[in-house]
Amino acid sequence: MVTVNAMGDKCPVPVIKTKKALDALTAPETIEVLVDNETAVANVTKMAQSTGATVTQEKLGEDEYKVTIQALAGEGSQTAPAGAVCDCVPTGDTVVVISSDKMGSGNDELGKVLIKGCIFAITQLDELPKKMIFYNGGAKITCEGSDSLEDLKNLE
């Protein structure tokens, strides 16, 4: 059995960790994913089901959940649909254009967490985007002190 500890990780990290565990499989295996919120449970479940795996969920306690994935032989080599990880994840010759330091409107703090998660998700792709362009408020993400600066340096 493989255990993925994603406690305290924000989306899309639990999905990315689980996808990496699936990709590493060479035979049928059970993967247990530990998370601390219902959104992560839903996202991990959706991604795992998209590979054909059987998935069960269990609430272990307050802010503690377990997603159990019964992965099939060779399943780790399958690729989940792009939207299963993050709707903003590009591949191939894609050019990513970011014009704001947050994603969406309404709650600015949530928007900053979402754009950081999206940039991190891009760093985990097998095939990176061809270019990334940052302008207007998006240029702030490339400056010293940005929460995403380390991820951008890794992409570089």
Q: Phi/psi at 42 (nearest 5 deg)?
A: -65, -45
Cβ neighbours of residue 133 under 8 Å, at least 6 residues apart?
A: 95, 96, 97, 98
- Rounded CA gap, 146 and 46, in Å? 31
Q: Domain limits of the chain?
A: 2-79, 86-155
The rounded percent of the chain whose pLDDT value lies above 90 is 41
Tens-place pLDDT, residues 5-38: 999 988 788 988 898 898 888 889 999 999 999 9
Tens-place pLDDT, residues 108-135: 888 888 888 888 888 877 788 888 999 9
End-to-end Cα spacing for the chain: 35
Residues acting as catalytic residues = 11
Q: Is 120 exposed, middle or buried (0-12, 13-18, 19+ CB in 10 A)?
A: buried
**DSSP classification of residue 107:** -
Please check whether residue 117 is in contact with residue 12, taking contact to mean a CB–CB distance below 8 angstroms.
Answer: yes
pTM of the model: 0.61
Please check whether residue 33 is in contact with residue 67, taking contact to mean a CB–CB distance below 8 angstroms.
Answer: yes
Alpha carbon separation from 62 to 44, 57, 58, 73 (Å, rounded): 19, 14, 12, 34
pLDDT beyond 60 at 98 = yes
Nearest alpha carbon to residue 2 among 76, 111, 88, 100: 76
What's 2-79's CATH class? alpha beta
DSSP states of 79-93: ---GGGT-TT---TT
**Banded pLDDT at 137 (limits 50, 70, 90):** very high
